[in-house]
Amino acid sequence: MLRPATIFAQPWQPALATLLRRASAAGIMAVILSACNTEELPENPPAGQLNMPQTIAWSAYPTGTGGYSQAVAIGNILQRQYGVNLRVVPGRNDVSRLATLNAGRVNMSAGGSEAVYAQEGILNFAARIWGPQPIRAILSNFSTSCSFSLATAADEEIRTIDDIRGKRVTFVQGAPSLNNATTALLAYGGLTWDDVEMVEVGGYNASIDAVINDRADVAGGACNSPPFMRLDSSPRGLYWVEFPPENAEGVQNVRARLPWYVPHVATEGPAIDVQEGIEVFTSAYPLLVAMEDLDPDMVYGIAKVIAVHYDDYKASAPGANGWRINGQQLENAFIPYHEGAIRYFKEIGIWTDEAEAKQQENLFRQQVLMDAWHEYLPGAPEDRASFEAGWLAHREQALAARGLITLSDTQ
């Protein structure tokens, strides 16, 4: 069963329902991977024995992206081995992906940094209908590609971050995780949006299309994302700007805004030499999340299936090799893990004292944010701009009072 939409106070639910209807009208579609003959393996019990339902729903990035393709690959495993249908609901932006999760239309969401922003109640999630959310991580993907970097049209001769000054850079409407990542990478070179020409687009795919069609020169995204293959093969060509870790100030500028981003060498993706790679930043993408109250058995089952069948799907989609579980992912998490996932981590012996300590830190941070939200709401102003400004100030004070990082630079 999908999660009932009853976890938060009722006043904002009509607004959220309106948002979902608009998202549906804008073209968000559900792709249902129909069941095929189930091939039961002795060591892998069928769905009923894992207490998993016949149908599980995820929201994900749009069709054609790496995250969507990986969901399809995992869905094929669920079908063949367990008789479970994975219903993938593509959303073109952060709000649409998490709106379906909050409304109980999907069980899980395979997205990116928007899960962190929803936990924090910042950017698009600083609105009255949102606020800090009790998000829980299930699994994270750290692949040989990268979660987000800046791709440029090769014909523009943009080779360094300094060369982006004055160029046309895409800004995706309703996608704070993408736009904030672009902001952070611009900050690596001491640039802001005032130093470039902002080109507003309607979605992730539209961002790359804008470069292909010469409406923009720079777009951000995952290094192995299929839309960049189209840019690579287009007349404009593809080039990746690099972010060498030797620039300590630049790295600090990026991580001050996005502390979950780390320097990384990507070796997978169009226009990337697999031997040399490119110096970029990365974070979990996709980051598979659920709400706090999702059935632990369902989460345990999904975590187990993704882990046990890793070799079966790791080469089935760009970036799918990043789903291999390791302790470093657990200890570096920025949001708490779901109890169902922790049950599986303990079962395979990777839930360490360090991971538990990090979990308690993340739970404490989330509780501070939730408490601050409930303190703020009763006397909050009705005006949207005043409401957001007041909440961000109240939020920052609550975090600072407890010695917690405020992420104030993301406001």
Domain positions in the chain are: 10-142+285-360, 149-282
pTM of the entire predicted model: 0.78
152 is written with which tokens? 């440029």
Please give the CATH architecture assigned to the domain spanning 10-142+285-360: 3-Layer(aba) Sandwich (3.40)
Per residue in 19-53, is it b (16+ CB within 10 Å) or e — as a string? Answer: bbeebeeeebeeeebeeeeeeeeeebbebeebebb
Domain 10-142+285-360 and domain 149-282, same fold? Reply is yes
Distance of CA 337 to the CA centre of its chain: 15
Residue 9 banded pLDDT, cuts 50, 70, 90: very low
End-to-end CA distance of the chain: 36
Of 234 and 331, which is predicted with more confidence? 234
Asked if the bond preceding 286 is cis, omega within 30° of 0, the reply is yes
Q: Which pLDDT belongs to residue 411?
A: 47
Average pLDDT in the 255-266 region? 90
Average pLDDT in the 279-283 region? 92
Of 256 and 170, which is predicted with more confidence? 170
Average pLDDT in the 320-344 region? 89
- Count the Cβ atoms, other than its own, within 10 Å of residue 149: 26
**Radius of gyration over alpha carbons of the chain, in Å?**
21
What percentage of residues in the chain have a pLDDT greater than 70?
Answer: 87
CATH topology of domain 149-282: D-Maltodextrin-Binding Protein; domain 2 (3.40.190)
Of 300 and 329, which is predicted with more confidence? 300
Q: Which pLDDT belongs to residue 224?
A: 87
| Residue 193 to residue 127: CA distance in whole angstroms | 23
pLDDT in tens, 113-155: 899 999 999 998 999 999 999 999 999 998 888 889 999 999 9
Strands (E), 24-75: 31-32, 55-60
Q: Average pLDDT of the chain? A: 87
231 is written with which tokens? 């840019």
